[in-house]
Chain A
Amino acid sequence: MELIRLDNVSLLRRTQEEFSYDLKRTFFSMLEGNYRKPVRRLVLDSINLTVNAHEKVGIVGANGSGKSTLLKLMCGILEPTKGKVRVQGSIAPLLELEAGFDKDISVYDNIILYGVLLGFSRAEMKQRAREILEFAEIEEFKLLPVKGLSSGMKARLGFAIATDVQPDILILDEVLSVGDEHFKMKCKKRIDSFWQGNATILVVSHDLDFIRQYCERVIWLDRGKLMFAGEPQETVSKYLKYST
């Protein structure tokens, strides 16, 4: 069964440096008649792609090649300029884990806040909070503001909240294990259980050994173009050859 389908998807984005962000300057440049329309750059170029249920797909490519942008399109954070993105089932993003935290409010409040942002109801999160605190092993800091946690603890909390889900599609952007050795093992176990389970997984990583070992199919992006998609061994070696 097809879970994700991208038909001829292109994305144009405004380059931020081009933009003035300034009411005064925009107003005067319009008066003087030299107002320019902001320049847009092609970030993804006619991508065709399908992902089937239970597939584990790796995405490789140089920095800035559009890997994370592609994931954002699948999550519905960005809308394609051209083409169509279709996704069936729930998607859980697991991108830079601490982004949702608010440093000034307590750990418990953050669990509720982050969980609701990720799509759970408040009632559900109240029930899950204890399990999450337990998994992250920070029960005793429940009422402390998050800025009082060490960075390792924050990472653990982020991981615990974001992975305490049963999504149809899991998206991993360079986050596979965090914290100390003991916690890394725990993370690995949880990721492994996703891996063995029915979840469809999309993973962006520069760890090519990991990609080769765990993924069933690999997609190689370069400057917004889909260069190749296929067997892990084949794709990775093509990518390596191209890069050197």
Chain B
Amino acid sequence: MKNIDNNIELFDAYLNNTMSKAERDGFEKQLNDDADLRKAFRQHKEFVACLQATCAEKDREFEQAIANISEEELRNITGKKSLSTQPQEEKPKGKMIPISSVYRWMSAAAVVLLLVGVGTNFYQKNQTQNLLCDAMVESYQFEAMHGASRGGETDETSMLRDEYNKAIAMINKNNTVEAISVLKKQFTAKSTPGDMKLDIGVALAYAYVKAHDVKNARLTIDELTKANGGETPQELVGLKKALDKL
């Protein structure tokens, strides 16, 4: 594994032109001599190019979308009552851009509104988030490992896992309402295989936490603990501890 990791670092350094002349020559000689390394390098380049192309498509989609919505629609999305028309210059690294007095008043008003209306609630939520942060990291690693394994599964299970992976992506994009809806359906379905139920339940518990629904997060953990013979599943120990502190 270490060797493969080293190769990835090596490939990135080569593609990124951060190697010295000697390192570069050495790597190119290795490529000439080693067919397996050549194949691995080709795969790596294809992966990076595909990833960049996929991301660029999403960026173009956003560019088209934001250029084609009205000020009113953008106002609805951002929840802002009036718009500043002070554009920022492109790539203004280190350059200070003056902000109009209108903007200052708007900012001050927004801060007051936020402090009075949302501030308290935000801090409570933020505190919850902080307490759960470590447990979240644990879950991310867990999800990455389990979400990817699809080899040798039936079509039905594979479809279920695809939906599950999409739900995980939704959680991480803060689309928790939709994620909870998908995961809850999977979690309660009788046709869901037992070994996947744990993955789904764990993801559901984390989705609830991210949606600040501590009550349902606890209920989900309790249900999984019960199904696990009264013992909290290892994947949820950290989260349970964090929830107990609340």
State whether these chains interact.
Answer: no
Q: What residues make up the interface of B, taking CB atoms closer than 8 Å to A? A: none
Binding site for B on A (CB under 8 A): none
